Chain A
Amino acid sequence: MLLVFVLQAGCATGVPGRGSLMGLGHRPPTPPFFNAAAPARSPTASATGRGAGVPPASADTSAEAWAHGPEGMATSEEVRARARRLEEERAEALVWAAQREGREPTAAREAEAERALARVVGLCSGVEDVGAVLAFTFWVEDGALTLVGYQEERGSGSEGRPVEAPELTRVLRLVLTEYVGGRTGEVVLRLRREAARWAVDYDASRTAARPPEARRLPMRMPGTPAGTFLTFHEVAGKWMRAVQVPAGGASRVELEVWLEDGRLTGGQLREVRRTREGPGGSPLALSPEVAGRLVQVLLPFTEGLGARTVRVVLRAEHQPGEARARGRVESARVERPPPQPGQSWYLSMHEATLLRWREGVVEGTAWLAQRGVEELALWFALGIIAKGLGFFATEGLEWVTKALGREPEVVAGWLRTALRRLTPEEKAAFERLWAKVLLEGEQALGHSERKKLRGLFVRLEQAIQEPLDVDLKKELRKDARAYYAKLYPRFAKILQEQNKDLPIHHRRPLQYAHLFPDENVNAGENLVMLKEHVHQRVNFLWGRFRTARPNPTTDEARRAAEIIDRHFEPWYHRADEPPGMLKTVDDAREAALRELRSRFPGLE
């Protein structure tokens, strides 16, 4: 086993890209997100970042020059970009943890190759037509083999002699483990039936975009789960029974098979077209073996990720004198829905969590339960976006629906904060049920679970419109401080040192968070660091506002925040006094107070 691994590692750099077992080729470029071909990294190491166009959030930790003040302060767009980068780092950390904890990557790569091998050999076993070619297109990444296409070409029609399976297995194992498994990119494995053997070659020289359903983590599961196998058999049988072939004629059959992760979510017989009329007579049904062959072709596709369609073309033909029509799968290829924002984040996190589920190395629910909302919010948020908001079309949801309709990182931040408002029991139920939806599909929820999950969204809708109690405010302040330190790493050290003397202020205060229910009160844009004496003056103004408007409207709270921001902005994001200021912080307080008085009659 060790020898196989060494060979695999060796072929990552020195193996030809194309040939009949040997040849020359090149290594396709690695995708921009998660360089999974690289050795396992720590989250810290990964923070050196490849965020498209976004500087890594940790890159400025050593910038002493910005230790105390906001010269060159990030714009709101930059703050948003940093927030995105932070979410990406969280996703990377989760994937990294999933990749390492309780797993043996070598064993997983070997299992991956053995599974692919068994499936390829299985499909070859029924083919005796000399000259027939079976082509399997895989996306290969760090030993994970995701089938993205299958094609079968007819041969001469002459029947070959039986082929010894062990010999084919030996050659294929060599190709899959030594030449293909260590690559990253698209690899086409082509097998041509000769009179007494299969000729195997592969082509890794084609450049292709990374398909979204491709996995980055090899799996150690032995084969297809029995439940999946039975479901496919039942459905394929039903589809094939619906096909009628003209006596002595031929038909082209086109199918759509809808998958989500490893689940069959549906499909349809799109077209049955006669391609050759026969001499006449009653049309004939397909031989039952055709359904079995179809299942054999489809099962490897279940190892991909996310929602996708496999489009299958079958050729059916009736030979005069035979009781049933014959059929073969001519092609099967994956069709993808249009990409959604944050899809690569989602699929990476999804793969990481799904992996535990599929392998059963660590019980999936237990693993997730240890992560918590802080880590999983992005996965939840992206899952909600991926599923569409239709699932939540529950009466009475207004703010929740609005909040969930935004960019992934905004939704994740909002969800992280909003879920704080639920009780620990409600939060645990939300995590459990939503994880079930994402891992097992919406249909896996029982009636009561579905009702409970919808009820939790309704509860969330109510909770976000209620004023925060003191305990929640404390939790959110702690979160805000930790988040601010991540958002502005150059301030992390001084925030640690100065603690209470350097508060993180909510520009729209926590007190009024319920007036902005679809907004994340802990979003980067709402947080500023300021000195305690400045905070005290700002709080003084909010105290006056509260006395004058005990129950303000959303607009009043927003306008008051704008006035205060306008006068105190020079002191924001500073651990020292702003240089060159003619006015003092007391001048700012008086000016803001005057403006608040003129805007809100009755304010003293």
Chain B
Amino acid sequence: MPLPGLERLFDVCLRLKLSVETLPPAREPPRAGCSLEGLPFDPVLADVYARLGYAAFATELIGAGWTLDRSDDQVHKLKENNRWWRENWWEGLGEPVIVFGGDIYTYATVPSLADALGRQPVVEVDTYEPEAHVMPVASNVDRFFDSYSHYLEALAAHPRYQKSGDRELLFPWDMAEVLARDEQLVELIRAGRFESLMKNMQESNATRRWLAKVTGR
């Protein structure tokens, strides 16, 4: 399966001279649909792990860099993290998810919201809060990489970043317009498919405003 979003992310990092670290994939990477903590593994994520055992993008931008959990023949972080999440977070979230990487926050796919091709949407989970805060960020993993690459571009183009390295923009918070181009994601949000996961965000005015920007409502 082509991964144009991931390729774009590599290109953007190269162009902006941002760091990229990768490790080769496992001899037998997790396959699409295989069981991880009893959940079907996302096919797009399976394609990613078929190419890479680990990746870290723009991590010199502390707070903005993003890393893919390592899963190769030496380290099984992907598996370990998902076990930890099943034991500690699934109940609180009210829905099982597969975590696969993150920046300050954890990024996860949601198997129950997979499309006809089995592609699972991506959410950001903020576990700094006593009750996790969830924000939808992409209709699938590759789309997330695409949006994140646009975020890095916007960050680098920001005048204050150019002058002083300030990272004024946050992903996905300041990228509502980019996320709004992900029609499948917008449809899922409009249909209320993330509502149960977002139950702890309902009191937040900022979240409501952000959702309205993404969905155009």
Q: Is the pair A543, B64 in contact by a Cβ cutoff of 8 Å?
A: no
Q: Is the pair A539, B59 in contact by a Cβ cutoff of 8 Å?
A: no
Q: Please pick, from B127, B167, B201, B205, the residue contacting A482 in the complex, using a CB distance under 8 A.
A: B167
Q: Is the pair B164, A492 in contact by a Cβ cutoff of 8 Å?
A: no
Q: Is the pair B206, A471 in contact by a Cβ cutoff of 8 Å?
A: yes
Residue count of chain A within 8 Å CB distance of chain B: 39
Q: Is the pair B62, A492 in contact by a Cβ cutoff of 8 Å?
A: yes
The stretch of A220-228, A381-389, A496-504 in contact with B is A496-504
* Residue B114 lies at the interface, judged by CB distance under 8 Å to chain A: no
Residue count of chain B within 8 Å CB distance of chain A: 38
B117 to chain A, nearest CB (A): 28
Report the Cα distance A478→B64, complex, angstroms. 8
Q: Please pick, from A471, A497, A510, A535, the residue contacting B173 in the complex, using a CB distance under 8 A.
A: A471
Q: Please pick, from B130, B166, B207, B210, the residue contacting A372 in the complex, using a CB distance under 8 A.
A: B166
* Residue A470 lies at the interface, judged by CB distance under 8 Å to chain B: yes
Report the Cα distance A368→B41, complex, angstroms. 50
Report the Cα distance A514→B168, complex, angstroms. 23
Given A499-B66, A499-B104, CB of A477 within 8 Å of CB of B127:
no
Report the Cα distance A564→B48, complex, angstroms. 40
Report the Cα distance A475→B206, complex, angstroms. 12
Q: Is the pair A539, B104 in contact by a Cβ cutoff of 8 Å?
A: no
* Residue B27 lies at the interface, judged by CB distance under 8 Å to chain A: no
* Contact residues, B32-86 vs A (CB, 8 A): 56, 59-60, 62-67, 84
A338 to chain B, nearest CB (A): 33
A300 to chain B, nearest CB (A): 34
Q: Is the pair A543, B163 in contact by a Cβ cutoff of 8 Å?
A: no
Q: Is the pair B128, A372 in contact by a Cβ cutoff of 8 Å?
A: no
Q: Please pick, from B62, B159, B170, the residue contacting A496 in the complex, using a CB distance under 8 A.
A: B62
Report the Cα distance A533→B84, complex, angstroms. 9
A153 to chain B, nearest CB (A): 51
Report the Cα distance A370→B162, complex, angstroms. 9
Q: Is the pair B67, A497 in contact by a Cβ cutoff of 8 Å?
A: yes
Q: Which residues from chain B contact A535 at a C-beta distance below 8 Å? A: 127-128
Q: Is the pair B206, A469 in contact by a Cβ cutoff of 8 Å?
A: yes
Q: Please pick, from B63, B66, B163, B164, the residue contacting A477 in the complex, using a CB distance under 8 A.
A: B63
* Residue A546 lies at the interface, judged by CB distance under 8 Å to chain B: yes
* Contact residues, B104-127 vs A (CB, 8 A): 104-106, 126-127
Interface string of A239-269 (1 = CB under 8 A from B): 0000000000000000000000000000000
Q: Is the pair B170, A499 in contact by a Cβ cutoff of 8 Å?
A: no
Q: Is the pair A539, B164 in contact by a Cβ cutoff of 8 Å?
A: no
Q: Please pick, from A496, A503, A542, the residue contacting B59 in the complex, using a CB distance under 8 A.
A: A496
Report the Cα distance A471→B66, complex, angstroms. 19
Q: Please pick, from B88, B104, B159, the residue contacting A536 in the complex, using a CB distance under 8 A.
A: B88
Q: Is the pair A496, B60 in contact by a Cβ cutoff of 8 Å?
A: yes
Report the Cα distance A469→B166, complex, angstroms. 22
Q: Which residues from chain A contact B60 at a C-beta distance below 8 Å? A: 496
Interface string of A500-544 (1 = CB under 8 A from B): 100100000011000000000000000000001101100110110
* Residue B102 lies at the interface, judged by CB distance under 8 Å to chain A: yes
Q: Is the pair B127, A539 in contact by a Cβ cutoff of 8 Å?
A: yes
Q: Which residues from chain B contact A7 at a C-beta distance below 8 Å? A: none
Report the Cα distance A572→B171, complex, angstroms. 27
| Closest A residue by C-beta to B162 | A370
Q: Is the pair B210, A471 in contact by a Cβ cutoff of 8 Å?
A: yes
Q: Is the pair A372, B160 in contact by a Cβ cutoff of 8 Å?
A: yes
Q: Is the pair A500, B170 in contact by a Cβ cutoff of 8 Å?
A: no
Q: Is the pair B173, A500 in contact by a Cβ cutoff of 8 Å?
A: no
* Residue A422 lies at the interface, judged by CB distance under 8 Å to chain B: no
Report the Cα distance A207→B173, complex, angstroms. 57
* Residue B131 lies at the interface, judged by CB distance under 8 Å to chain A: yes
B91 to chain A, nearest CB (A): 12
* Residue B177 lies at the interface, judged by CB distance under 8 Å to chain A: no
Report the Cα distance A283→B62, complex, angstroms. 75
Given A469-B205, A482-B63, A495-B62, CB of A540 within 8 Å of CB of B173:
no
Q: Is the pair B59, A474 in contact by a Cβ cutoff of 8 Å?
A: no
Q: Which residues from chain A contact B153 at a C-beta distance below 8 Å? A: none
| Closest B residue by C-beta to A369 | B159
A43 to chain B, nearest CB (A): 10
* Contact residues, B172-217 vs A (CB, 8 A): 173, 201, 204-207, 210
B148 to chain A, nearest CB (A): 13
User: Which of B103, B163, B167, B207 has the most chain A CB atoms inside 10 A of its CB?
Assistant: B163
A562 to chain B, nearest CB (A): 18
Interface string of A451-484 (1 = CB under 8 A from B): 0000000000000000001111111011101100
* Residue B28 lies at the interface, judged by CB distance under 8 Å to chain A: no
Q: Please pick, from B62, B133, B164, B201, the residue contacting A375 in the complex, using a CB distance under 8 A.
A: B164
Q: Is the pair B62, A481 in contact by a Cβ cutoff of 8 Å?
A: yes
Q: Which residues from chain B contact A475 at a C-beta distance below 8 Å? A: 170
| Closest B residue by C-beta to A547 | B130
Q: Is the pair A481, B104 in contact by a Cβ cutoff of 8 Å?
A: yes
Report the Cα distance A552→B5, complex, angstroms. 46
Q: Which residues from chain B contact A499 at a C-beta distance below 8 Å? A: 59, 65-67, 102-104
Q: Is the pair B128, A497 in contact by a Cβ cutoff of 8 Å?
A: no
* Residue A445 lies at the interface, judged by CB distance under 8 Å to chain B: no
Q: Is the pair B130, A543 in contact by a Cβ cutoff of 8 Å?
A: yes
Q: Which residues from chain B contact A511 at a C-beta distance below 8 Å? A: 129-130
Report the Cα distance A473→B207, complex, angstroms. 12
Q: Which residues from chain A contact B166 at a C-beta distance below 8 Å? A: 372, 374-375
User: Which of B66, B105, B130 has the most chain A CB atoms inside 10 A of its CB?
Assistant: B130
B104 to chain A, nearest CB (A): 6
Report the Cα distance A532→B126, complex, angstroms. 12
Q: Which residues from chain A contact B84 at a C-beta distance below 8 Å? A: 533
User: Which of A475, A485, A511, A533 has the most chain B CB atoms inside 10 A of its CB?
Assistant: A475
Q: Is the pair A497, B56 in contact by a Cβ cutoff of 8 Å?
A: yes
Report the Cα distance A504→B10, complex, angstroms. 28
* Residue A583 lies at the interface, judged by CB distance under 8 Å to chain B: no
* Residue A371 lies at the interface, judged by CB distance under 8 Å to chain B: yes
Q: Is the pair B170, A539 in contact by a Cβ cutoff of 8 Å?
A: no
A133 to chain B, nearest CB (A): 49
Q: Is the pair A474, B170 in contact by a Cβ cutoff of 8 Å?
A: yes
Q: Is the pair B59, A497 in contact by a Cβ cutoff of 8 Å?
A: yes
Q: Which residues from chain A contact B103 at a C-beta distance below 8 Å? A: 499-500
Q: Is the pair B130, A371 in contact by a Cβ cutoff of 8 Å?
A: no
* Contact residues, A75-100 vs B (CB, 8 A): 93, 97
Q: Is the pair B63, A371 in contact by a Cβ cutoff of 8 Å?
A: no
Q: Is the pair B160, A370 in contact by a Cβ cutoff of 8 Å?
A: yes
Q: Which residues from chain A contact B66 at a C-beta distance below 8 Å? A: 499
A426 to chain B, nearest CB (A): 15
User: Which of B159, B164, B201 has the most chain A CB atoms inside 10 A of its CB?
Assistant: B164
Interface string of A353-378 (1 = CB under 8 A from B): 00000000000000000111011000
9 A-B pairs whose Cβ atoms sit less than 8 Å apart in the complex? A97-B163, A370-B164, A371-B163, A374-B160, A469-B205, A472-B206, A481-B104, A496-B65, A503-B104
19 more A-B residue pairs beyond the given contacts A469-B204, A472-B206, with a C-beta to C-beta distance below 8 A: A93-B164, A370-B164, A371-B160, A372-B168, A470-B204, A470-B206, A471-B204, A474-B173, A475-B170, A477-B104, A481-B63, A482-B62, A496-B60, A497-B56, A497-B67, A500-B67, A510-B128, A536-B88, A536-B127
Closest 10 CB pairs of A and B: A543-B130, A478-B63, A500-B102, A471-B206, A496-B59, A469-B206, A470-B204, A372-B160, A370-B163, A481-B63
User: A interface vs B, CB < 8 Å?
Assistant: 93, 97, 370-372, 374-375, 469-475, 477-479, 481-482, 485, 492, 495-500, 503, 510-511, 532-533, 535-536, 539-540, 542-543, 546
